[in-house]
């Protein structure tokens, strides 16, 4: 039984597979060329891919009929063709929960960075421009009293809400259905024109693709902040650039469309856009937890049990 893991993972959870006699192949590179992925999956029973790997029908067919499980090392599964997996009887699993706190922390870090112009301040100091204290230097916004609108109230959204309350923010939210939570539920349109800060926490699916189109981005309050630690495809990037030039105070983006964001992308030229390279879950605890979950899910399927985190 051979399993292909498309990147080295933190921790030693893959040893659990080895102890069970599974042959584990781990790709040692920083990136994985498509041709190599197609070669390496041949004959595997299981695959542990990351969000970097497009797992479509071609990959599944190259793996062959022995492929039983794709245990994604991620909570989002938009990089996997779920219909193709379903049609071939391949189970797909993800890693919810373990990365929620880390991602919520980074969301708040981005919010503070945008509101208090942290990156501008660091660059200003580094450039040797800090020659005096001045009452008008780098004035920003304080969070207390602002309204945070959370779009998608899953595990990450809830943790962002808890953290925001600690900063004295008022929380409102929208999601597919209202939940038993102490925050007002609003429809998306009302949330967008009510909130001072809008934070996206929903999966990328055909229904949510470019949910924040040009009209919706410009329907946000003038001077509002947009946060995206979910998926870049949830918004129209070109329209966001324009909104940042004329309408919004700023944006904190851990995910972009395209991703990685090319070096010469106009978003980088905007001082009010704080961009991090998709590191929402990048803490040792979260990434080891994701490895543990991917292995548990994979083993469950190989041993004929129901996986703890089934997607398909
Ligand atoms: C996920 O898990 O979907 C994140 O985007 C990467 O950790």
Mean pLDDT over the full length of the chain: 98
Are 266 and 125 found together in one domain? yes
Are 106 and 241 found together in one domain? yes
The catalytic position among 259, 285, 288, 292 is 259
Instruction: Output the pLDDT for position 59.
Output: 99
Q: What 8-state DSSP symbol labels residue 14?
A: H
Are 17 and 65 found together in one domain? yes
123 in catalytic set = no
Instruction: Output the pLDDT for position 148.
Output: 99
Cα 308 to chain centroid, rounded: 21
278 in catalytic set = yes
Are 63 and 104 found together in one domain? no
Are 74 and 151 found together in one domain? no
Segments in 57-182 forming alpha helices (H): 57-63, 82-87, 100-115, 118-126, 155-166
Helix, strand, coil fractions of the chain, as percent rounded to 5:
35, 15, 50
49 pocket-lining for ligand 1 (C-beta < 6 Å): no
211/203 Cα distance (integer angstroms): 11
Residue 308 lies in a domain: no
Instruction: Output the pLDDT for position 288.
Output: 98
Phi, psi of 137 (to 5 degrees): -75, 125
Are 28 and 107 found together in one domain? no
Are 262 and 288 found together in one domain? no
135/186 Cα distance (integer angstroms): 39
Residue 311 lies in a domain: no
Residue 294 lies in a domain: yes
8 in catalytic set = no
Residue 191 lies in a domain: yes
Total domains in the fold of the chain = 2
The catalytic position among 158, 159, 231, 287 is 231
75 pocket-lining for ligand 1 (C-beta < 6 Å): yes
> Separation of 131 CA from ligand 1 center, angstroms?
42
How would residue 222 be classed by pLDDT, with cut points 50, 70 and 90? very high
Residue 184 lies in a domain: yes
Nearest-5° Cα angle at 163, 157 to 165: 105
In this predicted model, what pLDDT tens digit does every residue of 225-284 receive, in sequence order?
A: 999 999 999 999 999 999 999 999 999 999 999 999 999 999 999 999 999 999 999 999
Is the bond leading into 300 cis (omega within 30 degrees of zero)?
no
77 pocket-lining for ligand 1 (C-beta < 6 Å): no
Region 289-303: mean pLDDT is 98
How would residue 111 be classed by pLDDT, with cut points 50, 70 and 90? very high
Residue 169 lies in a domain: yes
4/46 Cα distance (integer angstroms): 7
Q: What 8-state DSSP symbol labels residue 88?
A: T
The percentage of the chain sitting over the pLDDT mark of 70, rounded to a whole number, equals 100
Are 80 and 225 found together in one domain? no
Q: What 8-state DSSP symbol labels residue 92?
A: E
Are 136 and 266 found together in one domain? yes
Domain that holds residue 79: 2-98+284-302
Residue 297 lies in a domain: yes
Residue 309 lies in a domain: no
Burial of 150 (0-12, 13-18, 19+ CB in 10 A): buried
The catalytic position among 159, 278, 287, 296 is 278
In the three-class reduction of DSSP (H, G, I as helix; E, B as strand; rest coil), residue 45 is classed as coil
Are 180 and 163 found together in one domain? yes
How would residue 70 be classed by pLDDT, with cut points 50, 70 and 90? very high
- H helix count then E strand count, the chain: 11, 11
DSSP structure string for 165-202: HHTT-EEEEE-SS--S-SS-B--HHHHHHH-SEEEE--
Are 104 and 219 found together in one domain? yes
CATH code for the domain in which residue 126 is found: 3.40.50.720
Size (the chain), residues: 312
Are 37 and 106 found together in one domain? no
185/262 Cα distance (integer angstroms): 37
77/118 Cα distance (integer angstroms): 32
């Amino acid at each position: 039984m051979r399993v292909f893991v498309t990147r080295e993972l933190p921790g030693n959870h893959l040893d659990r597979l080895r102890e069970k006699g599974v042959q584990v192949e781990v790709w040692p590179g920083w990136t994985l060329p498509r041709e190599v992925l197609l070669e390496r999956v041949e004959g595997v029973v299981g695959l542990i891919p990351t969000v970097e790997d497009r797992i479509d029908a071609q990959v599944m067919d190259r793996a062959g009929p022995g492929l039983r499980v794709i245990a994604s090392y991620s909570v989002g599964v938009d990089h996997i063709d779920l219909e193709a997996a379903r049609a071939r009887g391949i189970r797909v699993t993800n890693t919810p929960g373990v990365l929620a706190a880390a991602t919520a922390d980074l969301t708040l870090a981005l919010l503070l960075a945008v509101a208090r112009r942290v990156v501008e301040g660091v660059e200003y100091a580094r450039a040797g421009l800090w020659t005096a204290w001045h009452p008008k230097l780098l004035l920003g916004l304080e969070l207390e009293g602002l309204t945070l609108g959370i779009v998608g109230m899953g595990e990450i959204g809830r943790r962002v809400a808890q953290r925001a309350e600690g900063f004295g923010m008022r929380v409102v939210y929208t999601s597919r259905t209202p939940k038993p939570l102490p925050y007002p539920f609003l429809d998306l349109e009302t949330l967008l024109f009510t909130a001072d800060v809008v934070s996206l926490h929903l999966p990328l699916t055909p229904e949510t693709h470019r949910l924040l189109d040009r009209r919706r981005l410009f329907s946000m309050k003038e001077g509002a902040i947009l946060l995206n630690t979910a998926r870049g495809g949830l918004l129209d990037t070109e329209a966001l650039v324009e909104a940042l030039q004329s309408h919004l105070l700023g944006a904190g983006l851990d995910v972009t469309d395209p991703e990685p964001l090319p070096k010469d992308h106009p978003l980088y030229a905007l001082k009010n856009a704080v961009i991090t390279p998709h590191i929402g879950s990048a803490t040792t605890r979260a990434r080891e937890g994701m490895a543990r979950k991917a292995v548990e899910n994979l083993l469950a399927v190989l041993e004929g049990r129901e996986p703890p985190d089934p997607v398909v």
